[in-house]
Structure formats: structure tokens, C-alpha cells
Structure 1
Amino acid sequence: MQRFEEKTVLITGGAGGMGVSHLRGFLSEGANVVIGDVRDERGRAIAADLGTHAHYVHLDVTSEADWQKAITETERLFGPISVLVNNAGILSRSATIEKSDPGDFRHVLDVNLTGSYLGIRATVPSLRCSSAPTRRPSSPARSSSPTAACCSVRPWPPARPRTRAERGKDKPCRSPCTPASTRSSTPAPDRPAHPASAPSPAVTPPRSGRSSTTAWPR
């Protein structure tokens, strides 16, 4: 079985560059891929070349409305989204920061940073549907953060917590501050004496004609 068989992958910026290599990689593992981009003609041509398991949708990552349309169309064709690849990104047109345009800088942030945030925010419900058999969202009532309920998941069923005795078996405590009743009873192996504790060898002064009263280091 291929790793992404029957899975749906939405890739932004998929009409060129690394996006195309992502598409081919997921397709080779059995996935259905959706290309999200603003280069419509090129995106449709790539989807047609890749076959029936690929589809193109117009997606400006800075537009919340475009995200909703892309997700709706993806789910209609292939089902819930299993993987979102936020690949879309642009570079600043300015050569140096002193000659840069603040509006251009904000546009770079909108695409590269805010676009990824909007994509994750819009795709979370679909991702949850795709992973529902093995994972479920954490309970809002148990979280102190207002965003934790929509951004976190945990394995289900939860693993049984280990007892103190089981944790102690992994790494016995040898701290001298630990009460004697909790220390490990295994005797420590014999260790050779530290070189610093061995007696220093006697230093014999060279026969160079110096006085016998010269003090030599020990």
C-alpha cells in the first residue's frame, strides 16, 4: 500500500517551482492532489498533464474567501483534506532594504506569513474529518487557551500513565539527597583510582652542575 493512498493533498503555489515537485511526489505515493495558485492557465495545464488524480483551483492565499472556495471544491471532488502544503511564497522586488517599499514588504508578509496562517485556520475542520478515526480534538473545557481547542489534537484512546515504580525502573536515582528508602540497592562497580589521587612521581634534577640546594617542583 502506498503511503498516501486515498489521501487528499492541497498544495499552494503548485503551478511552478517546488510546488510541481511536491505534486509529483504525492501522486507517486497514491494521493489525490489539488493545485492552488493564482496562475490559472498554467495550473490547469499542469493538472491536465498529471491526470485524473490532480485538480486545479484558483487560490489567492491572502483571501479568506478563496480559501473557503478551494476547500469546498477539494472536498467535493476528493473528500476531506489529509495534508496541507503551504508552499506559496514570493520574494521582495527591492534590491536593498534602504530602497525598499513598505507596501511591497507588507505584501511579502501577507503572502508568506499571513497566507499560511489563513490556510491552516481554514483547513483545520477538514483535517479533523480526515483524521477522525484515529485522532480527536482535545476538549475545550480542559484548555485554558481559547485557541487550543481548534489547533491541538491528541491520540485516542489515551495512553495509561505510568506509575512511580515503573518510572523508577527506567533510570534509578543515585542522588545523595534522595532518601535511603528510594535509592537503588545495586552496588556501584569498582572504579580505578583517579589519576589525581595517585602519588606524584619523584622528580630527579638533571646533572647540569647546578647547586644541590636548588628547589625542584614536586
Structure 2
Amino acid sequence: MADIIPDPETIITELYPRGSLTRKLLLQHGEQVAAKALAVLDRSAWLDADRTFVYQAAMLHDIGIGRTHCPSLGCTGPLPYVCHGVEGRTILNRLGLIRHAWVCERHVGTGITARQIKAQNIPLPLREMLPITVEERLICYADKFFSKSDSGRHEKSVDEIVSGLTRYGTDNALRFDRLHRFFTVEPAVSGRLAATGHQQEKAPC
């Protein structure tokens, strides 16, 4: 069951006033990610996910961006943009929305490992930040199809997503490929292919 929370828009508006660019982009992007995630569930009957929670968490997953410095999104905080996930977790934890908070922390990129944080000197706490639950993985996946920087006018193709992620390391692209397979290949089909010795077609890259 999803937590009983105020309407996500109400939570966003408490932090980002009406008329602000950041509020507009958060609501628009959240709706796009939520719609994409729910559409994946509609065509993937084998997935067992809490639809209400998926909608709520998709709407709130970027709520920490205001604490980062990204003027093009109306954000004038002091932190690097990569910190928006952990900052979102802090915000939602304080509201008692623990499950939603995990989505914030674990959706950035295709998740971030402690090894990546250490090796790349990423300004984040040294811990694993990979999506774990179906809902966390779903929102992380759906988020990759849209960018706030172009107001979400363009839904990216799988090719575009993989190309963009590869710039930050092949691990990121490989994790997206696994997510894509998880949400588009029915387990029974995958099992039959493996049993007959056939390889699944790889996602375009």
C-alpha cells in the first residue's frame, strides 16, 4: 500500500511557489515520468507494483533540485546537481515519506554505486545508491526518457539514452540495458530463450 500523503503538487508547492520556473518544470517532468512508468505497467502484466505509490514517487523524485545550482531550471542553491537525489531524500524523510525518499536518492542516472562515488570523487555520501524495489527501478527507468532542460518536449529513444549514459561510463549504460530488459521482456519468454540456447536481442546501443 502507498503511504497516505497530501497531493504531490501540494508538497511541491510548499517548497516552490506558484509561478516559479522550478515548480512548473517539476510538475511537468513528474507527470511525464509518472505517465511513462504507468504505461510500462499497463503493458507488462507480469510486474507487481503499487501504482498509487509509483505516481506519487514519480511526481516527487526530483524535489531536491532547488538545493542545487542549475539556473536553467530556476535552481540557485549551492550544491552540484548530482546532489539533488540525496537532498530530495532528506526533504521527504523529514515529511515521514521514507519510501518516497528512497526513490529520490536512488533514481539519479541509473543509480550510483559506492565504487563510482569513490573512484570519480562524486560529492555524495559513500554508500550504495542503486534502485532496489520494482517501483524504484521503474521510476529510475522512466525518468531517463525525459529531460527537464528541454521542458520534456522530446521523449528520448533507447539509443539516445544509452549514448548519453555511456558518456558517464559503460556501467551506467549496462544498468540501463538491464532495466530495459526487465521492463520489456516477459520473464517466461526470457526463460524459454535461455533454455533453447537463443540469445535475447540486445537493446540498441
TM-score normalised by structure 1 residue count: 0.30
Larger Rg, first or second structure (1 or 2): 1
Which has the larger share of helix?
2
Greater strand proportion: 1
TM-score of the aligned structures, taking structure 2 as reference length: 0.32
> Relative contact order (alpha carbons < 8 A, sep ≥ 6): 1 or 2 greater?
2
